[in-house]
Amino acid sequence: MTALTPGELPDEYEDLRRVVAEFADEQVAPVSAELDAAHAFPYELVAKMGELGLFGLPFPEEYGGMGGDPFALFLAIEELARVNQSLAVTLEAGVCLGAMPLYRHGTTEQKETWLQDLVTGRALAGFGLTEPGAGTDAGGTRTTARLEGGEWVIDGAKEFITNSGTEITSLVTVTAVTGTRENGKPEISTIIVPSGTPGFTVEPAYDKVGWNSSDTHPLSFSGARVPEANLLGERGRGYANFLHALDEGRVAIAALAVGAAQGCVDESVRYAKERTTFGKPIGAYQGISFKIAHMEARAATARAAYYAAASKMLAGKPFKKEAAVAKLVAGDAVMENARDATQVFGGYGFMNESLVARHYRDSKILEVGEGTTEVQLMLIARELGL
């Protein structure tokens, strides 16, 4: 496959981008402020996204998918994030962290049981990796799972788990220590825990700074029992398998950040043409127009970075460094753009009903989730041999 180039997408990608952009502008944007203010999960919009096939974009048709690829998903995430980051991350996590591990590592029986509902958007799944003392450092995992009478008995806690407590969440996969390796390090495996399992508690939702209409909970496990067959993938390969998902997830989060960065540009251009001072639009002043020009340059640069990472990924080439670069550049871009857009809007940019205010609150997590800025710098340096 040739390199993906912004502005010169193949027809099938461009057609998809237009469809999702229209959905975002006509159906998502008008209700986003209300959903954000109410901290309400967007069930109706998620159902419509399922009908559009967005949750199934990178999956084969045999599982109810659209037969596309991850880049198609990234485009959809980008367009949604222009107007609503909460909805975009619901899609990103639902596919990259929920359905994709099951598709890649699940048994035939596991796929037949769970996958089609996830791929069609009728259900969501969460991925329980992060703990109070573990995330990037998998060695800090304290959740345990032991075999007893043909069942895994799980004890521990997870933090910041997306899509884990909705009315349509069907399962959470969790990383847990299932033994000790010969070198003394913990053996970490991944286990499917269905919603409603006795001993599995979804704790009250977090009161977050942003992403207010996405679903995020801490989870606790106290003697939660699931069948031995709920092991996802090979025993002891749970974290290793997740590392591959993290690389793809970083590109997906970069796409989300690019969409939000572009949303800041679009809103600023609109407002700069409408708002007048001293008899002319504020966009006529270089202090404003140059600020917006810098915003556009940041968004364009970040888009090129995530397209480059996606190109290598689709070609089957190593893309760890490119994914880290894309995540780093896009996270920087969206934070700078959100700040500048708020400045362009002045007092209106400080009002929560404005899109730029929501982007200002929402965007900080894009420098943290799927690996912090510091982790991306570490990965890039390591790939350079430093």
Instruction: Give yes or no for a contact between 307 and 5, defined as CB atoms under 8 angstroms apart.
Output: yes
| pLDDT the model gives residue 1 | 54
- By C-alpha distance, which of 228, 195, 240, 232 is closest to 104? 232
132 and 186 assigned to the same domain: yes
State how far the Cα of 204 lies from the Cα of 219, in Å rounded to an integer: 9
Which residues, listed in sequence order, are joined to residue 280 by a DSSP beta bridge?
277
Sign of CA dihedral 64, 67, 73, 76: negative
346 contact partners, CB below 8 Å, separation of at least 6: none
- pLDDT top residue among 253 and 240: 253
184 and 213 assigned to the same domain: yes
| pLDDT the model gives residue 184 | 81
Q: What is the CATH number of the domain that holds 171?
A: 2.40.110.10
- Within a domain: 208: yes
Residue after which a domain boundary falls, among 76, 104, 122: 122
**Active-site annotation holds for 148:** no
| pLDDT the model gives residue 242 | 78
213 and 249 assigned to the same domain: no
* Lowest pLDDT segment from 245-249, 356-360, 364-368: 245-249
- Within a domain: 2: no
255 and 145 assigned to the same domain: no
State how far the Cα of 349 lies from the Cα of 360, in Å rounded to an integer: 9
230 and 247 assigned to the same domain: no
Residue after which a domain boundary falls, among 84, 100, 122: 122
Residue 66 clears pLDDT 80, i.e. is over it? yes
- Within a domain: 20: yes
| pLDDT the model gives residue 182 | 85
| pLDDT the model gives residue 2 | 58
| pLDDT the model gives residue 4 | 83
- Within a domain: 6: no
365 and 256 assigned to the same domain: yes
Q: What is the CATH number of the domain that holds 356?
A: 1.20.140.10
| pLDDT the model gives residue 6 | 84
- By C-alpha distance, which of 298, 319, 297 is closest to 310? 319
| pLDDT the model gives residue 138 | 67
Residue after which a domain boundary falls, among 122, 156, 179: 122
Residue 232 clears pLDDT 70, i.e. is over it? yes
- List the alpha helices (DSSP H) in 166-319: 238-274, 286-314
Range of the domain at 226: 125-235
The 10s digit of each residue's pLDDT in 84-139 is: 999 999 999 999 999 999 999 999 999 999 999 999 999 999 999 999 887 767 67
| pLDDT the model gives residue 198 | 98
155 and 105 assigned to the same domain: no
334 and 348 assigned to the same domain: yes
Dihedral angle of Cα 95, 151, 148, 175, to the nearest 10 degrees: 0
Mean pLDDT for the chain overall: 95
Residue among 131, 248, 322, 370 flagged as catalytic: 370
- By C-alpha distance, which of 129, 57, 64 is closest to 91? 57
Q: Report the SS3 class of residue 170.
A: strand
Q: What are phi and psi of 30, to 5 degrees?
A: -65, -25
The 10s digit of each residue's pLDDT in 272-309 is: 999 999 999 999 999 999 999 999 999 999 999 999 99
| DSSP labels, 312-349 | HHHTT---HHHHHHHHHHHHHHHHHHHHHHHHHHGGGG
